[in-house]
Structure 1
Amino acid sequence: MANNNSLVVPQARAALEQMKYEVAQELGISLPQDGYYGNMTTRDMGSIGGSITRRLVQMAQQQLAGRS
């Protein structure tokens, strides 16, 4: 199975990066400034990723509800 981590909308990269830092701050997790995440725990990274996914799903649901 191919690993495809490319963004569907490449222009969204900056917004997703900003969201990552916001979520990490809300969870009390400090992200390394050098961009190397190898020393981060799986639990912390999973918490950040899960929170981002919840936010994105919530945003999509709100947009879909507005269209109905």
Structure 2
Amino acid sequence: MAQTLVPEAKSGISKFKSEVASEMGVPFTDYNGNLSSKQCGSVGGEMVKRMVQQYETGIK
């Protein structure tokens, strides 16, 4: 099991994931077993893309 390095970040990441999924039209809920791997992967990929953009522009 992975150790959470910054427990306070968990709620922020969940909120970010929900925002990205909503913008992409992917219906994320507490249970996401009905979503395809493509849908989940698209949300994760978009999250990473946005985090890299924020890092590169210096926005935190």
- TMscore range, shorter length: 0.7 to 0.9
2:54 is aligned with 1:22: no
For normalisation by structure 2, the TM-score amounts to 0.80
The separation in 1 between residues aligned to 2:16 and 2:27, in whole angstroms, is 14
What is the distance in 2 between the residues matched to 1:17 and 1:48?
A: 12
**Root mean square deviation, CA, Å:** 1.9
Aligned to 1:11: 8
Structure 2 spans left out of the alignment, 5+ residues: none
SS in 1 for 2:31: coil
The answer to whether structure 1 residue 58 and structure 2 residue 53 are counterparts is: yes
Indicate the percent of aligned positions where both proteins have the same amino acid.
Answer: 32
Shift of 1:59: 1.4
Runs of 4+ in 1 over 4 A off after TM superposition: none
Q: Unpaired runs of 5+ in structure 1?
A: none
